[in-house]
Amino acid sequence: MVNRVDAPLKVTGRAKYGTDRDFPGMLHGYVVVSTVANAEIGAMEVTATKSAPGVVAVYTPFDSLKLNTPNGMLGETWVPLQTKEVTYYGQPIGFVVAETYEQARDAAMLVEVSYLTRPALTSLADGLATAQEPPPGRGGEGSELSILAPGVESIEDALAASAVVVDETYTTATQNHAAMEPHSAVALWDDDGLTVYSGNQGSDIQASQLAQALDLDPEIVHAVNPFVGGAFGGKGHTSTPAFLAAAAAKALGKPVKAALSREQVFTATAGRAATVQKVALGADRDGKLIAVRHDSWCSTAADGSFVEPTSHGTSREWYATQNLAISQKMVPLNIPPTTFMRAPGEAPGSFALESAVDELAVALNMDPIELRMRNNSFAPPGKDLQWSSKHLDECFQIGASRFGWAERTPNGRTEGDWLVGLGTATAMFPALRFPATIEIVLNADETATVSTSGADPGTGLLTVLSLVGAESLDIAPERITPRLGDSRYPAGGMSGGSTATASAGTAIMVAANNVIDELLKLASSAGAPFEGLETSYADGRVEAGDRSMTFGELLRATGRTTLTATGSSAPGEELTKHSFSSFGAQFVEVRVHKWTREARVSRMLGVFDAGRIINAQSARSQIIGGMIWGVSAALHEGLEIERNGRLANGDLAGYLLPVNADIGEADVHFIEYPDTFHNAVGARGVGEIGIVGMAAAVANAVYNATGIRVRDIPITIEDLLLD
């Protein structure tokens, strides 16, 4: 167990986040948002606002800060105030800048907006008839995919030929990331250009987007985000406050700080789509899958800019089946944008698929674990590329033993006034890598610095840099200074997709080899201590025969204070040889009160096959956080959108999240099989897989306890009331 290197700063309050920065003469901005869901802005009366105390400037679509639409690895990023069109309730439509935050907020309340309103469509259920085909999905595959056994004409024929069929519809709710740190930014200009302090999942990505938006040379844009107060996918794109603060600071010639209010975070950002999913499973009497059909619909903003790939993220790969048909459609609505949220596609998709698998086990009178193991896949259906390393059966076997699964009965058990049930589910999340570059600096004081522009939004990446850097340089972790969150460091890409450890770690190994090569060249160069000798490196020392010097001693002896090298890594030919994923087995014990029907999770266990675990303490924390989020999705979390587009519970009072009293015993176990087919470090991602399958495991446990099958989450007391 290794403590996180950033822990002392965070627990003592010394870690500086974006809005912790203050500068002389700094102004404060407040975002104005729409109060209708579908309209054209006819006019905005700002005379009273401009006359309010302390107000310096007011910007609207009629008098806007000019911003271009950036494009990049995440596609187009929406920028505020460039259109009079309103497509959802809570859309940013104005920006008030004043001498204090309170002055800007109060003046913003004086803005009067006239709308030319249009009918708004805000319900996924009502909009299903208008569903559209989304752009191509994962792996370049289209929205529909069908794999049929020889002689089978259609998936319906395959289902009809199955001895046992489950065919049901499942729904999941809209969610918001609700990160502790609201989206915010501090922007200032000086002779060197623009500097923006803002929590984001990739400083180099944010710098690029700001440069495009403001039509600037990327070399003069500096994005800084050493600490991020939670992201989960919601801070991949540059935020509205960052765009507006940067543009206003340029226009006004003063630093500008802007932060969304907690209520604005629920609309002026983006969240997880709601879904409707129809899953049909056909099997023979022995439980072997013959057919899998998974049709999915998801909500999306009016521009259809994001699709939640539920069927493609689960049924496409999870189980061996002779016949497979999946489809994905989107329903454009007048709602806030949707975007990546922890395990996008896999989290809501697994609720539907893993609930259906549990229903099939009931129909077959078969143990749910046995059913899953009988349909274990060696490769995604229809693909020749086998999994690089898969030990899912072992996850279930170890989990069943540790959790006491043998004591489970088909109808649960009763303890006093509580009905107790056990549930399980499979968890899978693709093992990915992004391109990353690392800089390593050897210092004459026997320390080393490892730097990349990527972010640590609570995942523990700083500690990973320290550990992998120390291992690669063969020195103690305490001698490594890890650095993240600065666009002037080598490009580290985005911290997302459970990619950071594999991406940065592999690049560290390359950079370490390069800097050691440079060190050995220096050691044997003319006039150096090992001139003309064949040298080697071990334990932080340069060696030749019986002579040895630390790298710091060598640098000092050659008059150097530092020695620097970079290393880069990206996905390569391994993608043509194997399929890659992390795997897990989720176990949950749920108690439902006989009379009040409240449901509580009393125990949960996750057993995971995620390759090599670099830091067990951080990895365990990441997994537990995801598992808790899965409980939240199952029992608490869901945005309620009124017909006019207003969020009925768009704050932390009405948007339910679990607290300590809601979470019982949580346990995590890793089975470690380093996956060096995937990357040289052998590690696969753990950041997102923890949430996958959890909601289904909870719902399956509720069924085991009560006999009531709930196919919509979050599960409420009303769902569990007896007729």
Question: Which residues are annotated as catalytic?
Answer: 688
Place of tokens 């985000």: 225
How many other CB atoms are found less than 10 A from the CB of residue 61? 17
Which residue has tokens 């059909």? 293
Find all residues with CB under 8 Å of 472, minimum gap 6, and list them: 508, 509, 511, 512, 513
DSSP 143-210: SEEEE--TT---HHHHHHT-SEEEEEEEEE--EE---SS-SEEEEEEETTEEEEE---SBHHHHHHHH
Q: Give the separation between CA 317 and CA 288, rounded to whole angstroms.
A: 16
DSSP class of residue 238 equals P
Alpha helical stretches, state H, 297-456: 310-313, 346-364, 368-374, 392-403
Q: Going by C-beta distance under 8 Å and a sequence separation of 6 or more, which residues neighbour residue 31?
A: 80, 92, 94, 95, 108, 240, 241, 244, 258, 260, 264, 268
- Report the distance separating Cα 32 and Cα 90, nearest Å: 8
How many whole angstroms separate alpha carbon 156 and alpha carbon 167? 11
Q: CB of 363 within 8 A of CB of 164?
A: yes
Contacts (Cβ under 8 Å, ≥6 apart) of 239: 183, 184, 185, 198, 200, 260, 269
Cβ atoms of residues 556 and 529 within 8 Å: no
What is the rounded distance in angstroms from the CA atom of residue 658 to the CA atom of residue 637?
Answer: 8
Q: Hunting for tokens 């271009």 — which residue is that?
A: 68
Contact between 275 and 46 (Cβ < 8 Å) = no
Residues 6+ apart with CB under 8 A from 63: none
Place of tokens 């500690």: 463
Residue entry with tokens 């009925």: 648
Joined together, the tokens standing for residue 335 give 């709602």
Query: Helix (H, G, I), strand (E, B), or coil: what is residue 492?
Result: coil
User: How many separate helices (H) and strands (E) can be counted in the chain?
Assistant: 17, 32
The owner of tokens 């700080």 is 257
| Helix (H/G/I), strand (E/B), else coil: 334 | coil
C-alpha 59/C-alpha 61 separation (Å) is 7
- Locus of tokens 């509720």: 702
Token match 């380093």: residue?
A: 674
Q: What b/e sequence results for 627-658 when a residue is b if at least 16 CB atoms lie within 10 Å of its CB, and e otherwise?
A: bbbbbbbbbbbbbebeeebbbeebeeeebeeb
Asked whether 238 and 209 are in contact (CB, 8 A), the reply is yes
